[in-house]
Amino acid sequence: MRTFLSALLFTTFFVNSTAQRIKIIEDFESNTLGWTEILDNKGQAIISEGVMQIESKGDLYISTAWTDLDPNVPFEITVDVKVRRLDGSRTFGIILDYLDNSQYILLLVKEGNARFIRKKGNYEGYISNSIKLERGWKEDVKLGVKYQMGKLIFEVNEIFALEARYVEMTSSGIGLYVEGRQKIKFDNFTITQ
Protein backbone atom coordinates (compact mmCIF):
# COMPACT_ATOMS: atom_id res chain seq x y z
CA MET A 1 0.00 0.00 0.00
CA ARG A 2 2.83 2.41 0.87
CA THR A 3 4.47 1.69 -2.52
CA PHE A 4 1.18 2.38 -4.29
CA LEU A 5 0.74 5.76 -2.53
CA SER A 6 4.35 6.73 -3.27
CA ALA A 7 3.89 5.84 -6.93
CA LEU A 8 0.61 7.78 -7.08
CA LEU A 9 2.15 10.91 -5.50
CA PHE A 10 5.18 10.71 -7.81
CA THR A 11 2.94 10.33 -10.87
CA THR A 12 0.73 13.25 -9.78
CA PHE A 13 3.78 15.47 -9.18
CA PHE A 14 5.37 14.42 -12.48
CA VAL A 15 2.22 15.13 -14.50
CA ASN A 16 1.68 18.51 -12.82
CA SER A 17 5.32 19.57 -13.15
CA THR A 18 5.46 18.71 -16.83
CA ALA A 19 2.11 20.27 -17.74
CA GLN A 20 2.61 22.31 -20.85
CA ARG A 21 1.40 25.85 -21.23
CA ILE A 22 -0.53 26.79 -24.33
CA LYS A 23 0.31 29.96 -26.25
CA ILE A 24 -2.23 31.50 -28.61
CA ILE A 25 -1.23 34.42 -30.83
CA GLU A 26 -4.04 36.47 -32.34
CA ASP A 27 -2.62 38.35 -35.30
CA PHE A 28 -6.12 39.52 -36.32
CA GLU A 29 -5.85 37.91 -39.75
CA SER A 30 -8.47 35.24 -38.99
CA ASN A 31 -10.06 36.22 -35.65
CA THR A 32 -8.74 33.08 -33.95
CA LEU A 33 -10.06 34.08 -30.52
CA GLY A 34 -13.55 35.05 -31.71
CA TRP A 35 -13.40 38.76 -30.89
CA THR A 36 -16.70 40.63 -30.87
CA GLU A 37 -16.69 43.58 -33.25
CA ILE A 38 -18.78 46.60 -32.30
CA LEU A 39 -19.93 49.61 -34.34
CA ASP A 40 -22.13 52.38 -32.96
CA ASN A 41 -22.40 56.17 -33.00
CA LYS A 42 -19.83 56.50 -30.17
CA GLY A 43 -17.11 54.44 -31.80
CA GLN A 44 -16.11 51.14 -33.32
CA ALA A 45 -13.98 48.07 -32.74
CA ILE A 46 -13.33 46.20 -35.99
CA ILE A 47 -10.76 43.82 -37.39
CA SER A 48 -9.32 45.36 -40.52
CA GLU A 49 -6.00 45.10 -42.38
CA GLY A 50 -4.66 42.53 -39.91
CA VAL A 51 -5.18 44.59 -36.72
CA MET A 52 -7.96 45.31 -34.23
CA GLN A 53 -8.79 48.97 -34.82
CA ILE A 54 -10.65 50.60 -31.96
CA GLU A 55 -11.92 54.14 -32.35
CA SER A 56 -13.64 56.33 -29.79
CA LYS A 57 -15.41 59.25 -31.44
CA GLY A 58 -15.68 61.61 -28.46
CA ASP A 59 -13.65 62.87 -25.53
CA LEU A 60 -15.89 61.06 -23.01
CA TYR A 61 -16.68 57.98 -25.14
CA ILE A 62 -15.39 54.47 -24.55
CA SER A 63 -14.96 51.73 -27.17
CA THR A 64 -14.08 48.10 -26.47
CA ALA A 65 -13.59 44.68 -28.08
CA TRP A 66 -14.12 41.32 -26.30
CA THR A 67 -13.06 37.68 -26.16
CA ASP A 68 -12.69 35.00 -23.43
CA LEU A 69 -10.07 33.11 -21.41
CA ASP A 70 -10.15 30.69 -18.47
CA PRO A 71 -9.73 32.84 -15.30
CA ASN A 72 -9.03 29.75 -13.16
CA VAL A 73 -5.69 29.05 -14.88
CA PRO A 74 -2.65 31.36 -14.47
CA PHE A 75 -2.12 33.42 -17.61
CA GLU A 76 0.07 35.96 -19.35
CA ILE A 77 -1.19 38.42 -21.95
CA THR A 78 0.79 40.71 -24.23
CA VAL A 79 -0.44 43.01 -26.96
CA ASP A 80 1.25 45.48 -29.31
CA VAL A 81 -0.42 48.89 -29.47
CA LYS A 82 0.02 51.62 -32.06
CA VAL A 83 -1.08 54.97 -30.70
CA ARG A 84 -1.47 57.94 -33.06
CA ARG A 85 -1.01 60.51 -30.35
CA LEU A 86 -0.37 60.17 -26.64
CA ASP A 87 -1.64 62.99 -24.46
CA GLY A 88 -3.46 63.62 -21.20
CA SER A 89 -7.00 63.17 -22.51
CA ARG A 90 -6.58 59.73 -24.06
CA THR A 91 -6.55 56.33 -22.34
CA PHE A 92 -6.14 52.74 -23.55
CA GLY A 93 -5.58 49.33 -22.03
CA ILE A 94 -6.77 45.82 -21.21
CA ILE A 95 -10.00 44.71 -19.52
CA LEU A 96 -10.05 41.56 -17.35
CA ASP A 97 -12.68 39.72 -15.30
CA TYR A 98 -15.48 41.42 -17.23
CA LEU A 99 -18.95 40.19 -16.28
CA ASP A 100 -20.97 43.37 -16.82
CA ASN A 101 -20.73 47.06 -15.92
CA SER A 102 -20.70 46.13 -12.22
CA GLN A 103 -17.69 43.75 -12.35
CA TYR A 104 -14.41 44.27 -14.18
CA ILE A 105 -10.73 45.11 -13.90
CA LEU A 106 -9.13 47.79 -16.09
CA LEU A 107 -5.38 48.05 -16.65
CA LEU A 108 -4.91 51.40 -18.34
CA VAL A 109 -2.23 53.69 -19.73
CA LYS A 110 -2.75 57.44 -19.82
CA GLU A 111 0.25 59.56 -20.77
CA GLY A 112 2.78 58.97 -17.94
CA ASN A 113 0.51 56.91 -15.73
CA ALA A 114 -0.44 53.24 -15.33
CA ARG A 115 -3.69 52.52 -13.52
CA PHE A 116 -5.43 49.46 -12.07
CA ILE A 117 -9.19 49.93 -11.57
CA ARG A 118 -11.32 47.27 -9.85
CA LYS A 119 -15.12 47.51 -10.05
CA LYS A 120 -17.13 45.01 -8.02
CA GLY A 121 -20.76 45.86 -7.30
CA ASN A 122 -20.98 49.32 -5.75
CA TYR A 123 -17.26 49.33 -4.89
CA GLU A 124 -14.66 50.84 -7.17
CA GLY A 125 -11.02 51.17 -6.20
CA TYR A 126 -7.81 51.93 -8.02
CA ILE A 127 -4.03 51.93 -7.85
CA SER A 128 -2.03 54.42 -9.89
CA ASN A 129 1.69 54.56 -10.64
CA SER A 130 3.87 56.89 -12.72
CA ILE A 131 5.60 55.36 -15.73
CA LYS A 132 8.03 56.78 -18.27
CA LEU A 133 6.25 56.98 -21.59
CA GLU A 134 7.18 59.53 -24.20
CA ARG A 135 4.52 62.03 -25.19
CA GLY A 136 4.08 62.43 -28.90
CA TRP A 137 2.82 61.09 -32.19
CA LYS A 138 2.71 57.49 -33.42
CA GLU A 139 3.86 55.81 -30.25
CA ASP A 140 4.38 52.02 -30.17
CA VAL A 141 3.53 50.50 -26.79
CA LYS A 142 3.61 46.90 -25.59
CA LEU A 143 1.20 46.03 -22.78
CA GLY A 144 1.66 42.93 -20.64
CA VAL A 145 -0.32 41.25 -17.85
CA LYS A 146 0.69 38.31 -15.66
CA TYR A 147 -1.81 36.66 -13.33
CA GLN A 148 -1.09 33.81 -10.93
CA MET A 149 -2.50 32.87 -7.53
CA GLY A 150 -4.27 36.21 -7.01
CA LYS A 151 -1.29 38.35 -8.03
CA LEU A 152 -1.71 40.61 -11.05
CA ILE A 153 1.30 42.36 -12.60
CA PHE A 154 0.92 45.04 -15.29
CA GLU A 155 3.84 45.91 -17.57
CA VAL A 156 4.23 48.71 -20.11
CA ASN A 157 6.98 48.28 -22.72
CA GLU A 158 8.20 45.21 -20.79
CA ILE A 159 8.86 47.35 -17.69
CA PHE A 160 7.02 46.84 -14.39
CA ALA A 161 4.18 49.37 -14.04
CA LEU A 162 2.22 48.11 -11.02
CA GLU A 163 1.15 45.07 -9.03
CA ALA A 164 -2.11 44.18 -7.27
CA ARG A 165 -2.42 41.24 -4.88
CA TYR A 166 -5.34 39.16 -3.63
CA VAL A 167 -7.18 39.74 -6.88
CA GLU A 168 -9.93 37.19 -7.44
CA MET A 169 -11.10 36.62 -11.00
CA THR A 170 -14.40 34.86 -11.66
CA SER A 171 -15.35 35.91 -15.19
CA SER A 172 -13.80 34.84 -18.49
CA GLY A 173 -14.41 38.19 -20.20
CA ILE A 174 -11.28 39.99 -21.41
CA GLY A 175 -10.98 42.85 -23.83
CA LEU A 176 -9.25 45.91 -25.20
CA TYR A 177 -10.24 49.41 -24.09
CA VAL A 178 -10.01 52.86 -25.66
CA GLU A 179 -11.29 56.11 -24.11
CA GLY A 180 -11.14 59.66 -25.48
CA ARG A 181 -11.25 60.82 -29.10
CA GLN A 182 -8.68 58.54 -30.80
CA LYS A 183 -8.12 55.52 -33.02
CA ILE A 184 -5.73 52.83 -31.77
CA LYS A 185 -4.47 49.69 -33.50
CA PHE A 186 -3.90 46.51 -31.48
CA ASP A 187 -1.93 43.58 -32.87
CA ASN A 188 -0.25 40.33 -31.82
CA PHE A 189 -2.54 39.70 -28.85
CA THR A 190 -0.93 36.74 -27.11
CA ILE A 191 -2.39 34.59 -24.34
CA THR A 192 -0.24 31.99 -22.58
CA GLN A 193 -1.97 29.63 -20.15
- CB contact set of 84 (below 8 Å; sequence gap of 6+): 137, 138, 182, 183, 184
User: Both ends of the chain: CA-CA distance in Å?
Assistant: 36
What does the alpha-carbon distance between residue 8 and residue 186 come to, in Å, rounded to a whole number?
46
pLDDT computed for residue 138 by the predictor? 62
Domains of the chain in sequence order: 22-192 (2.60.120.560)
The 10s digit of each residue's pLDDT in 140-149 is 899 999 999 9
Query: Tens of pLDDT along 58-80?
Result: 988 899 998 999 989 999 999 99
Higher pLDDT, 62 or 4: 62
pLDDT digits (tens, 9 = 90+) for 133-188: 665 556 789 999 999 999 999 999 999 999 999 999 999 999 999 999 999 999 99
| Cβ-based neighbours of 92, under 8 Å, separated by 6 or more | 54, 81, 83, 108, 109, 176, 177, 178, 179, 182, 184
Pairing mode, strands 75-86 and 136-148: antiparallel
Q: What is this structure's pTM?
A: 0.84
